[in-house]
Chains A and B, each alone.
Chain A
Amino acid sequence: MKKTYKIDVDCANCANKMEEAARKTEGVKDAVVNFMALKMNVEFEEGQDPHKVMEEVYKNCKKVEDDCIIYIK
């Protein structure tokens, strides 16, 4: 399953780091951060609850870039 989330982050390198952090999160098959559109496309692994996974993703992103926001609905 794929979902798109709106994000807020200041610099392009931070966006790269978020992408890296999101990819390493458990339950995430692939993640792409589009800095210019301020969007994160996440592909979840089968049978994962996107909301729970996204909370982990958010935590991990906060670790690499404190100044980021992911709008998880």
Chain B
Amino acid sequence: MQALIINILLGFVVVLALGLLIWSLNSSSNMTKKQLKVLWRIFLAAAMLLILELIPASFFAPLDNVFEGLSFIVVLILYLIDYLIIGYDILLKAFKGIKNGQVFDECFLMAVATLGALALALYDRSGDYTEAIAVMLFYQIGEWFQSYAVGKSRRNISELMDIRPDYANVLREDKISRVDPDEVQIGEIIVVNPGEKVPIDGKVIEGESTLNTSALTGESLPRDIVVGDEITSGCINMTGVLKIQTTKEFGESTVSKILDLVENAGSRKSKSEDFISKFARIYTPAVCISALLLALIPPLFNLLFLHAPADWHIWVYRALTFLVISCPCALVISIPLSFFAGIGGAGKAGILIKGSNYLETLSKTEIVMFDKTGTLTQGVFVVSDIHHNIMEKEKLLEYAALVESSSSHPISKSLIKAYGKEIDQKRVSDIKELSGNGVIAKVDGLEVAAGNDKLMAKLGIEHIECHSVGTIIHMAIDGKYAGHIVIADVLKANAEKAIAALKKAGIKKTVMLTGDRKNVAEKVAADLKIDEVYSELMPSDKVAKVEEFMEKKSARAKLAFVGDGINDAPVLRRADIGIAMGAMGSDAAIEAADVVLMDDDPLKIAKAVNISRKCLRIVYQNIVFAIGIKLICLILGMLGIANMWLAIFADVGVMVIAVLNAIRALFVDKL
């Protein structure tokens, strides 16, 4: 019965290997030379083993007529050849391992287990060499599968992140030359043809087109771009020729930053990964020592105390079975692979996660704190009204725009936009930016202050409260109150859904922190159904608030902060997890954050949490499953229930299942 199962199994391996070999001729298989070579060896060894199994013993019997025992030797040699075909590299590596003092090298252990099994077969004169060869064969199959699966997912993920531009077409002295993106200076003009990647961040100065931003944002909808628009590197130009004036060097451009981020993602290891590498470090020696004890103690015990036969070969066999299970490969590969796939899947959805440790922390998030402007609202402010103005509205707006002309705050931008005319920087001097309050500057020699009520209070200027909901910019010119400008922000389309999705994902508390006024903040919070809101906060207050929440929460629960502005950087760093809005967020925020949402969609926060949970679930499944099966096999092996066959199947099987399970983390579309 067992012989039949073995033959069917070997037949299956032969057919499968042959199929894969034929498939490897197809260029899409992407097999490396090394993999192809091992595949050939698997095929040959399995085929030869199957033939040797199928040949009846009587076939070699006539050889015994030449001299007694010749058939035995011939069969042994044939099996040994087969053993060497499949295992020569393992033996070689094992030998090198011993030379370098690496006793616990898995090649060495595999070699000991299989050579031991061969020796036992010789000792018993059973002629059952199949087991040793099969162990080697399936070990190689497992390694091959692992190598192929890892290579494949590695390629998949790097294709996802295939945003690196190879060249830039730079316009110099009326000639277009193709250069390395690194060589392009700030302010030079580059030309991007349809189908090409935008290599460097810049501003469009000629042409219009649609952009495919999917590699960056996961958003499949193309984006239109016209003259004057800022353009982000990494997008693919789809329709028209664009002339772009660069605003950054290649190294500082979005695409370089993202690549840098992705490539270094793996260097921050999660606790689970650390646990597994530590576990692997003790697991192998522990199993080996147990194997040694198993081979020595029971027989000696039998001999010395029970005066029974030692049964050496039974116990040595069981010890060898231990060695087969001693390789921690399934575990060691599946955990980083799960994280890698999770980070890759998130990247595909436009969520950049800077390391597997952050993925792990993200999965434990219970409190999410938000910045308001640019995170939940579009940050595109529109001047909606001007009240109590002592001069013409246009004139007041002109002063406001001039004062705020050097600030990058979204409110300043909206003022400049509302003014709509060219700004003459020469008219402005002595700009003092008071973080959280406003700006004071000299315009045409007059002191102009623009900011909130706190600024007015600070300057000792009486101001008129406004009843409109929105951001109020009070203006004082030459020490006199000059009216206020109402600026309203628009909620992001998905903001409400985002909060609901977070609740659904099991986030216990949502909190909004904002520097904005109380009535605006509370209206937004009520519209979005946010649990708690703290308004009129200075940047330092935000840090204090986050710290307050961090102290209150339990140690296990993690706190995430989502923000975008420059003043959010300290808060992003302080929180357990900092999530930055990417495309619109400032560079400082992206650098300080642990997770970057490329398309600024708040709905992605819940998605990121779900991705992290799925990934961690897979990681735990793999840890429990792999360690569990190994322990069961060790116990069964010790009792003599599991033989080497079962041991190698358990080992390879666990690995295959764990690797396939790990790859599941790559699929994040439905989360």
Contacts and interface: CB of A to CB of B under 8 A. Distances in A.
Interface of A: 4, 10-13, 16, 19-20, 32, 34-39, 41, 63-64, 66-67
A36 B332 contact: no
Given A36-B340, A39-B263, A64-B100, A10 B329 contact: no
Given A12-B332, A32-B269, A66 B96 contact: yes
B184 to A, nearest CB: 24
A9 to B, nearest CB: 10
A11 B146 contact: yes
A41 B332 CA distance: 19
Interface string B267-280: 10100000001001
A63 B102 contact: yes
Given A36-B154, A41-B264, A67-B93, A13 B328 contact: yes
A36 B150 contact: yes
Given A34-B266, A36-B154, A36-B337, A13 B96 contact: no
8 contacts: A11-B146, A11-B147, A12-B336, A13-B329, A19-B277, A32-B269, A35-B150, A67-B93
B433 to A, nearest CB: 35
Contact of A41 (B97, B143, B267, B328): B267
Contacts of A19: 277
B332 A16 contact: yes
Contacts of A41: 264, 267
Interface string B489-503: 000000000000000
B333 interface: yes
Contact of B336 (A10, A35, A66): A35
A71 to B, nearest CB: 15
Contacts of B332: 11-13, 16
B587 interface: no
A37 B102 CA distance: 26
Contacts of A13: 106, 280, 327-329, 332-333
A69 to B, nearest CB: 12
Contacts of A32: 267, 269
A63 B107 CA distance: 14
Closest 7 A/B residue pairs (Cβ):
A34-B266, A36-B340, A12-B333, A63-B100, A12-B332, A13-B332, A32-B267
Contacts of B280: 13, 16
A66 to B, nearest CB: 5
Nearest to B265: A37
- Which residue, of B150, B266, B333, has the highest number of chain A Cβ atoms within 10 A? B266
Contacts of A35: 150, 266, 333, 336
Interface string B324-345: 0001110011001101100000
B102 A11 contact: no
A11 B266 contact: no
Nearest to B333: A12
Interface in B96-133: 96-97, 100-102, 105-106
Contacts of B102: 63-64
Interface string B122-158: 0000000000000000000001001100100010000
Q: Main SS of the interface on chain B? A: helix
Q: Main SS of the interface on chain A? A: mixed
Given A36-B337, A64-B102, A11 B263 contact: no
Contacts of A4: 263-264
Nearest to B335: A12
- Counting contact residues on chain B (CB < 8 A from A), the size range is 20 to 34
Interface of B: 34, 93, 96-97, 100-102, 105-106, 143, 146-147, 150, 154, 263-267, 269, 277, 280-281, 327-329, 332-333, 336-337, 339-340
A73 B75 CA distance: 51
Contacts of A38: 154
Given A10-B143, A11-B329, A64-B100, A37 B263 contact: yes
Contacts of B337: 12, 36
A54 B477 CA distance: 64
- Which residue, of A12, A32, A35, has the highest number of chain B Cβ atoms within 10 A? A12
A36 B665 CA distance: 14
A48 to B, nearest CB: 20
Nearest to B89: A67
Contacts of A34: 266-267, 336
A13 B96 CA distance: 17
Nearest to B283: A13
A37 B269 CA distance: 13
B261 to A, nearest CB: 12
Nearest to B101: A63
A47 B277 CA distance: 30
A39 to B, nearest CB: 7
Contacts of B328: 13
B302 to A, nearest CB: 36
B267 A10 contact: no
Given A36-B266, A39-B266, 5 more contacts: A10-B147, A16-B281, A39-B267, A66-B93, A67-B93
Nearest to A35: B336
B651 to A, nearest CB: 13
A34 to B, nearest CB: 3
- Which residue, of B332, B339, B340, has the highest number of chain A Cβ atoms within 10 A? B332
A63 B280 CA distance: 18
Contact of A16 (B100, B147, B277): B277
B332 to A, nearest CB: 4
Nearest to B341: A36
Contact of B266 (A10, A16, A37, A66): A37
A59 to B, nearest CB: 10
A4 B332 CA distance: 22
A32 B264 CA distance: 10
Contacts of A39: 263, 266-267
A21 B658 CA distance: 27
B123 to A, nearest CB: 31
Nearest to A10: B147
Contacts of A67: 93
Contacts of A12: 150, 329, 332-333, 336-337
A64 B98 CA distance: 10
B203 to A, nearest CB: 32
Nearest to B35: A10
A37 B147 CA distance: 13
Contacts of B264: 4, 41
A20 B284 CA distance: 15
Nearest to A41: B267
B398 to A, nearest CB: 50
B146 to A, nearest CB: 7
